[in-house]
Structure 1
């Protein structure tokens, strides 16, 4: 199908020109998405959306839920991230048969590229990247919902309990909380044990995952609707430690088989996992191999299959949006323009 870049003002004219059989619009939060949805409604064009939203852990508003239910009813089909996103759209009235999965995938081959490297090559890579012999790895934007302060506190507890195995903590990324995290590292006496790498290149990420004992994501907010770094780590055959706030925890993590889930509200639980990994109570190579095998099912082909399944469903079983759906969408567009 054609991929055409247009300015917002010209979008409706271009859609009228190409007359798509189905229009895929990722949600309704932006002005351009709202205008695209209205165009589709005016021209009886079936709609498909993407979603990785989840119901779990978020406060509900009766009024907002009623509005969402009417907006969701305008779509003929959707492609979602996983089980939680499927439940989210079903909650708002979209039939299960109209929902396919596979939105949140990565290029697995890129992250698996270092499989089979010799111990000598891995040692050279470790020296080039100035990495400790054993470490937990995390990659994040330095924003509150990533709970990096909580991760540092838990790692501090692990150190205080004896730092079994001598693992250090390596964190890649940057953002608004960097200064606060640096201060916390200093105050906690973690200098030399926690390493903030800053932003790292896409080409270096596979090796950072490959050399780690385990990857950890400690998000404490359900706005972490998936966590694509989990996919990346698994593709690099790295065991994963995933907060149950992350949408991917339900679909990708098999506790004790390819990693572990934990509650961000239970730092002692994660600290205990750290200590057990340090004491080599788990076969990390086996965990990593099973992680890689699991994520092999969540690849670019999985996304493509889910995408076309949603498009076919929308074409075969189009839904006619209600007058109320159109009215609400016009109200949203008006509000967006005011803002």
Structure 2
């Protein structure tokens, strides 16, 4: 039996089902150490600009404990948002054979943790999802590369989630033999199972929103914020002039007022409020295609694409979205466009919506592709890493 301590920033809807799945493995005993209680208590989400608490269970089915966070401004949005003085003692109290970090190293608490563990001879495995799609070669970037490479020397292995993330680790001099593939995944089963018998609910919600029942729907769901570029998508939709196609935006955030203004001016643009986790399968079921037009380096993967594909949806993503190279096969299950290029996005919308039957085939292909991005594949990669570091 391997004792695996997992350090996580806070309960996350994508990780909790993975932890539940891991304990079914007879040779792994895990305990998760949370550094913050966001997600299970009502707190303001900075992106959605509202108080929220996830409405699915994130703490059942596995062993965990919270580590007291003494930060005056708790959160993952800054270096000192996670300050957990007792982290090392609590983790060592579990007597771990190995430690898995699923939280970024770039927090005060993690730097302290790595320093305090330097003489304990416990292998640390790091799982990240950063990429260098927008690579810079200036002096600051070169210095940053050296610093990150030095930090990565603390890890006995690194788990990469996709092609862009693999390149990121290699750029920072992580040896290939220390890299193990653990694909970014969601609870595929929850979304696949929910996809059955949703059509009647889709009709009812369309009627409530005023969307014509025979209209195809382009869907955006997420935070209404600059990096996700919902305003670019609105402009592209308006320019595309698509017959019998509606555009539904689901979510909230700082751009909500601007988005509402467009919806008032265009009868084919519809808004729905933020939907909690239990309603996300229905949200994806509303769309005939899902679009994530993000710009910049901070869309490290885009797990909404996993969710949409589990629901059998074709997808359009910008080339800044981390999962683009892994999950989107142009003209097989979707399209990729140049981030920030509204004309290119307009062309993608026109192309995708020009053939209803082809769009359905793309959706079927999405389901096939995403089947290989599952928790079972994550666990297989994790086990390979553990075998390597615990020789």
Q: Structure 1 length as normaliser, TM-score? A: 0.84
Give the number of the structure whose alpha-carbon radius of gyration is greater: 1
Match of 2:257 in 1: 179
Question: Between Structure 1 and Structure 2, which shows a larger proportion of strand residues?
Answer: 2
Q: Distance in 1 between matches of 2:200 and 2:290?
A: 22
Match of 2:294 in 1: 219
Matches within 5 A, 1:1-339: 1-2=30-31, 3-7=64-68, 8-25=84-101, 26-60=103-137, 61-117=141-197, 123-124=203-204, 126-127=206-207, 131-132=211-212, 133-159=215-241, 163-164=242-243, 166-186=244-264, 189-190=265-266, 192-280=267-355, 283-316=358-391
Q: Distance in 2 between matches of 1:208 and 1:41?
A: 46
Q: Deviations over 1:188-216 (max 9, x none)?
A: x32x2111212013222212222311000
C-alpha displacement at 1:116, in angstroms? 5.0
C-alpha displacement at 1:184, in angstroms? 4.3
Q: Deviations over 1:262-289 (max 9, x none)?
A: 1123322221222233332651221111
Q: 1:294 to 1:88 in 2, by over 3 A?
A: same
Tell whether the 8 Å contact from 2:181 to 2:381 is kept in structure 1 after alignment: yes
Aligned residues: 309
Tell whether the 8 Å contact from 1:138 to 1:171 is kept in structure 2 after alignment: yes
Q: Distance in 2 between matches of 1:129 and 1:228?
A: 26
C-alpha displacement at 1:185, in angstroms? 4.3
Larger relative contact order (CA 8 Å, sep ≥ 6): 1
C-alpha displacement at 1:149, in angstroms? 1.5
Q: Distance in 1 between matches of 2:286 and 2:91?
A: 48
Q: 1:118 to 1:87 in 2, by over 3 A?
A: closer
Q: Distance in 2 between matches of 1:122 and 1:196?
A: 15
Tell whether the 8 Å contact from 2:88 to 2:116 is kept in structure 1 after alignment: yes
C-alpha displacement at 1:310, in angstroms? 2.4
C-alpha displacement at 1:21, in angstroms? 1.6
Tell whether the 8 Å contact from 1:152 to 1:185 is kept in structure 2 after alignment: no
Q: Distance in 2 between matches of 1:265 and 1:34?
A: 35
Tell whether the 8 Å contact from 1:234 to 1:291 is kept in structure 2 after alignment: yes
Q: Distance in 1 between matches of 2:116 and 2:276?
A: 40
Q: 1:229 to 1:43 in 2, by over 3 A?
A: same
Question: Between Structure 1 and Structure 2, which shows a larger proportion of helix residues?
Answer: 1
Tell whether the 8 Å contact from 1:216 to 1:242 is kept in structure 2 after alignment: yes
Q: Deviations over 1:236-266 (max 9, x none)?
A: 0011111111010000011111111111233
Out of 34-43 and 79-88, give the one that drifted further. 34-43
Q: Deviations over 1:284-323 (max 9, x none)?
A: 221111101110111121222222222332223xxxxxxx
What's the secondary structure of 2:277's corresponding residue?
coil
Q: Distance in 2 between matches of 1:138 and 1:310?
A: 36
Q: 1:78 to 1:224 in 2, by over 3 A?
A: same
